[in-house]
Amino acid sequence: MKAYRVTAAGQRPSLVEVPAPQPGPGEVAVEIAACGLNFADLLMVEGTYQDTPPAPFTLGIELAGTVTALGEGVAGLAAGDRVGVFGGRGGLAEAGCFPADRCLQLPDAMPFHIAAAFLVAYGTSHLALAHRARLTTGERLVVTGAAGGVGLTAVELGAKLGAEVVAIARGADKLEVARTAGATHLIEATSDDIRGQLKALGGIDVLYDTVGDPLFGECFRAARPEARLLAIGFAGGKVPQIKANHLLVKNLTVSGLYWGGYMGFAPEVLTGSLKELMGLWETGGLDPHVSHRLPLDEIDAAMELIRTRRSTGKVVVEPRR
């Protein structure tokens, strides 16, 4: 089978032929129909992601497909089940084996390319806004990188939670995508005095930041007293350095959110969130945005869309397309 693998640390990944794996105890084999790309895939290539596995490994942290075989001790799943999987690796291949407890049965009507774009993006934003920040109706939510994979879901979910959403993104096309998802106010990421623009709106109650400095610093200085600031990622490449005395003076809270980390210490929080989100999708309450769908043979082009930030929402690779 084909798989997109990092064969040695520091080397560029390549599409190679590898033997099809067999499920071990507690695992299921999945015929992969779609894999959602994430910024984390780029970090894994560079070896800088917090959960980068040792080489060799297959990239692709989230996927959707059909169960084809069960390993010893697996209950609650059967061959033929349609599943979404947060595997942490292995999604950019024609097949793979994954822990059964990382598989979520999909609604019958959910297409595989939507499922593969759903787990990390919506899961991250739901836990960040509802669980960590406790966002409430009427609060002002500012989202940076607002047209990206997770940022766009934060705009959508924030609006559904009753917040006044301010989207910060680069370019008119991306800002329009954020407006369609529910943003009330739009700010061009390259404009001057973002802090002043945010203050003119009344300041920030909750910040959902995917970019890092210098944009984080501009937003930080526009925070209202008792604001909650969420560090989601650092796509801009610069990690903010936060002065604790500023937190004290304005009674601010800064929280990190690594969605996959919940699998290790509170998996029930993560799975409960996903089940709630799946229910929202089934009732028409969510509208996942996939800007590009490419076959596995075009994986390098798909990765470049993420690297150059030319996509909006999610990029999905379909190995059997």
Q: Are 198 and 218 in contact (CB under 8 A)?
A: yes
244 and 125 belong to one structural domain: yes
**Domain check: are 129 and 91 in the same one?**
no
178-201 pLDDT tens trace: 999 999 999 999 999 999 999 999
- Whether 283 is in a domain gets the answer no
Question: Residue 249's domain is classified under what CATH number?
Answer: 3.40.50.720
φ/ψ of 8, rounded to 5, equals: -155, 145
Tens-place pLDDT, residues 41-99: 999 999 889 889 999 999 999 999 999 999 999 999 999 999 999 999 999 999 999 99
pLDDT at 9: 78
Q: Are residues 102 and 211 in the same domain?
A: no
CATH number at residue 107: 3.90.180.10
Flag the least confident range among 140-144, 218-222, 267-271.
267-271
Percent pLDDT > 90 in the chain is 94
Looking at the fold, whether 127 and 244 belong to one and the same domain comes out as yes
Instruction: Tell me the DSSP string of 271-318.
Output: HHHHHHHHHHHHTT-----EEEEEEGGGHHHHHHHHHTT---BEEEEE
Q: Are residues 159 and 177 in the same domain?
A: yes
State residue 81's pLDDT score: 98
Compute φ and ψ for 318, nearest 5 degrees. -115, 100
Q: Are residues 69 and 6 in the same domain?
A: yes
Which tens digits make up the pLDDT trace of 273-315?
999 999 999 999 999 999 999 999 999 999 999 999 999 999 9
Q: How much is the pTM?
A: 0.95
Same domain, 245 and 180: yes
Instruction: Name residues whose C-beta falls within 8 Å of residue 18's C-beta, 6 or more positions apart in sequence.
Output: 1, 2, 3, 5, 58, 93
Residues 248 and 302 in one domain: no
Within a domain: 193: yes
Verify that 135 and 228 share a domain, yes or no: yes
* One domain, residues 38 and 99: yes
Strand bridging mode 290-295 / 253-256:
unpaired
Going by pLDDT thresholds of 50, 70 and 90, the confidence category of residue 8 is confident
Domain that holds residue 89: 2-118+288-318
pLDDT(11) > 80: yes
Tell me what the mean pLDDT of segment 140-145 comes to: 98
Count of structural domains within the chain = 2
- Assigned domain for 17 exists: yes
Q: Is a pLDDT exceeding 90 seen at residue 320?
A: no
277 found inside a domain: no
167 vs 194: CA distance, rounded Å: 12
Assess if residue 272 is contained within a domain.
no
pLDDT at 23: 98
pLDDT, residue 321, reads: 80
pLDDT digits (tens, 9 = 90+) for 87-128: 999 999 999 999 999 999 999 999 999 999 999 999 999 999
